[in-house]
Structure 1
Amino acid sequence: MGTLGELVHDDAVALDVTVDGWEDAVRHAGRLLERVEVAGAAYTQSMIDSVHEKGPYIVIAPGFAFAHARPSEAVLRTGMSWVRLAEPVEFGHDRNDPVTLVVALAAKDADAHQAAMAELATVIADPERKAALDAAATPDEVLELLRGGGDEAAPEPQPERARQRRRGSTRNHILTVCGNGVGTSLFLKNTLEKVLDQWGWGPYITVEATDTVSARGKAKEADLIMTSAEIGRALGDLGVPMRIIDDFTSTKEIDAALRASYDV
């Protein structure tokens, strides 16, 4: 699995780009993937089509859009591009607009980029690193920051009684859902697993990232579904609790959703 620094090619970073709306922003990110031979033009169009079909579910944190589509023959290898906009644009998201950063992912399969996803989630959620990336003057500075890594605080487990409650009363399974099962759902999965580790529940629960079609068949085996508002509306009532998450990088928001779901 590639790391974030390995998957963002040196020639796939563009800063202070002027665009004409969200579609042009996604197209620019896709063209960078095309330029470094990560994906073809058909993949760029599929990223745009996905937003037209499902809404702005790719805007997963304030100011941040994570563009992607399903793996296809148009994907030549797994890679990412990074586009910082000169002026923010509206995607139509209720909470997270306007967007200033678009990161595009093309994945050969659902497993090839999980380590990079975890790193990206950490970067976007870290105010200092995010501010440094926003202030970077050159693509080389961006890449240096992405490849620099970062230390995370050690988990602080919750009391043993909470772990016992978690083991004894549930199916030990949570679904994170997006339109394609390889992008935003993995992003949410990484942040959720971070919270579970902080609680000390990591060993007792599994988190599965999946798409809307698969989620309908898997819902009965889950305690809980976490997803965006757009995907939640598409899924409808699947017979299990659903929590809508606005900021996929926010451990605080996910912590609160878990507490409400498991009565902690």
Structure 2
Amino acid sequence: MPHLAELLSQDCIALNVSAQTWQDAITRAGALLTAAGIAEDAYTEAMIANVLDNGPYIVVAPGFAFAHARSSSAVHRTGMSWLRLATPVAFGHKTNDPVTLVVALAATDASAHTAAMAELAKLLGNPARRAALDTAGTPAELLAVLEADQPPQATAAAAKSSNLILTVCGNGLGTSLFLKNTTEQVLQTWGWERFVNVEATDTISAKGRAKSADLILTSGEIAKTLGDVGVPVKVIDNFTSTTEVDAALRDSYDV
């Protein structure tokens, strides 16, 4: 699986860009994908429609929005763009607004980018690395931060477990992967990674699979969409916060 720096090139990075609205910010991030031949304008429209339909759940951490939409014929290859805003923009998220960083993902399938998403989640959850990303003066400097301490390719499949946690977003290939990674970090600190499996999925699949899971972790907007699915649905505001996820898991597992 490609790592983060492999999905992001210098020509897809724009720093200190002005945007008046969240739609404008996503449009500018999408324009970088289009210019690089990664996706078409229709994909940018789909990213905006995703927020209009599902709410600002893509603002997964303070100041950070992860723009994406379902895979479609408008995506030519998997890739990302990175847009750092000159002035923060409100997306309408109750706890993580305003946004200064928009990363847009275009993916040809639901799995090729998972390693990159795990790396990005860890970066954003590390205050020192996040500060380095926020102060990088050029695209080359930003890529250097992303490439530092890049993990090796995994050589073995993750062990299966008898219990299941679902992390859910609108499409199952973007923000839910951030939450999956953070949840796995918490389970590792508990020594539970061999016993509990974490899977990222979309709202439709989650409704069908909910009763096979111990619980669901998601955003407030997606929780409203899911409704009563027969298992606990825990709302997480900051998808990169191990502290917040730890508290939700402790409440569910009575740790």
**Both proteins in one fold, TM over 0.5:** yes
Shift of residue 149, structure 1, vs aligned partner: 2.5
Pairs within 5 Å for 1:147-166: 147-149=147-149
SS at match of 2:11: strand
Q: 2:184 & 2:19 partners in 1: Cα distance?
A: 35
After superposition, the CA RMSD in angstroms is: 1.1
Shift of residue 240, structure 1, vs aligned partner: 0.3
Q: 1:62 & 1:214 partners in 2: Cα distance?
A: 28
Q: 1:150 & 1:250 partners in 2: Cα distance?
A: 21
Supply the AA of the counterpart residue of 1:3: H
Supply the AA of the counterpart residue of 2:211: K
Name 2:185's counterpart in structure 1. Answer: 194
State the TM-score, normalizing by the size of structure 1.
Answer: 0.91
Deviations 1:32-83 (A, max 9, x none): 0111111111111000000011100100000000000001111111111100
Supply the AA of the counterpart residue of 1:2: P
State the TM-score, normalizing by the size of structure 2.
Answer: 0.95
Unaligned runs of 5+ in 1: 152-166
Percent sequence identity over aligned pairs: 63
Q: 1:130 & 1:226 partners in 2: Cα distance?
A: 24
Unaligned runs of 5+ in 2: 152-160
The structure 1 segments of at least 4 consecutive aligned residues displaced by more than 2 Å after TM superposition are: none
2:202 is the counterpart of 1:211: yes
Q: 1:12 & 1:199 partners in 2: Cα distance?
A: 38
Name 2:134's counterpart in structure 1. Answer: 134
Name 2:103's counterpart in structure 1. Answer: 103
Q: 2:71 & 2:194 partners in 1: Cα distance?
A: 30
Pairs within 5 Å for 1:2-151: 2-149=2-149
Name 1:233's counterpart in structure 2. Answer: 224
Matched pairs, number: 246
Name 2:246's counterpart in structure 1. Answer: 255
SS at match of 2:10: strand
Supply the AA of the counterpart residue of 1:132: A
Q: 2:229 & 2:182 partners in 1: Cα distance?
A: 23
Q: 1:201 & 1:57 partners in 2: Cα distance?
A: 28
Deviations 1:178-231 (A, max 9, x none): 000000011110111111111111011111111011111000100100000000
Match of 1:221 among 212, 220, 225: 212
